[in-house]
Amino acid sequence: MNAVPNVLDERFRAAAAASGELDVAFDVVDDTPVGRLLVGVSDRGLCRVGFDPEPEAELERLARLFGPRVLRSPQALDRVRNELDQYFEGRRHAFDLELDLRATPEFHRRVLVELSRVEYGRTTTYGALAAQVGAPRAARAVGTVMNRNPLPIVLPCHRVVGANGSLTGYGGGLDRKEWLLRLEGALL
């Protein structure tokens, strides 16, 4: 079995993304300050940011949610990668990306839309977010939504803390939450 030369492989991956036939184009960004990230875009926008990706499980998950035509295609993620780079360097305070939340349940989506209004460098609480979506007693459910956020960093669940100011929890681990909040100057 002969190996496929890199040039040929990359050319196909770029052509596949350009053809508009992919359900999801993804890439793994290796060396961000918060470790490896898997990022995925559909024809509607960013559909996945994952910490410490286990490719096998992530691909199955993307295929289940968006369709089986899932392919690694770095070119398709250029813009996402750029915006993330700028964010990590402290040069970008808001993301300018279309988001694809079609695989997210309705209540989750409402909470995430509310979350997207929490500005860079600010924090809010689970309870406050719950109140904003009209479910003031659903702080715990809001915690679950944060934990399952398909687009961490871009949808800033790291900006949600406990009522007493404790970091409480983070899908990607508390170290990352702390790092992101320090980057934004929300933690000293």
Partner 1 sequence: MVSGIPPFERFYECHRGEVLAFLQRRAGRDRADDLFQETFLRALRAYGRLEHGEHLRAWVLTIAANTVVDAARRERPAAELAFEPAREDERPAVEELAPLTDDLPPKERAAVVLRYGYDLDYDTIAAALGSNEQAARQAASAGVRRLRKEKEQQ
157 catalytic? Reply is yes
The amino acid sitting at 139 is: A
Q: Does the protein bind partner 1 through residue 41 (CB under 8 A)?
A: no
* 40 closest CA partner among 9, 11, 64, 12: 64
Closest distance of CB 9 from partner 1, Å = 7
Q: Is the dihedral of CA 50, 58, 77, 75 positive or negative?
A: positive
Here's the x/- map for partner 1, 45-84, by CB under 8 A: it reads as --------------xx-xxx--xxxxxx------------
Q: Which is nearer to partner 1, 64 or 140 (CB)?
A: 64
- Catalytic position from the list 157, 160, 161, 180: 157
Residue 111 · residue 180 · CB < 8 Å: no
Element housing 141 (H / E): helix 139-147
The amino acid sitting at 116 is: S
**Residues interacting with partner 1, by CB under 8 A?**
1-4, 8-9, 11-12, 15-16, 19, 21-23, 59-60, 62-64, 67-72
Q: Which residues are catalytic?
A: 157
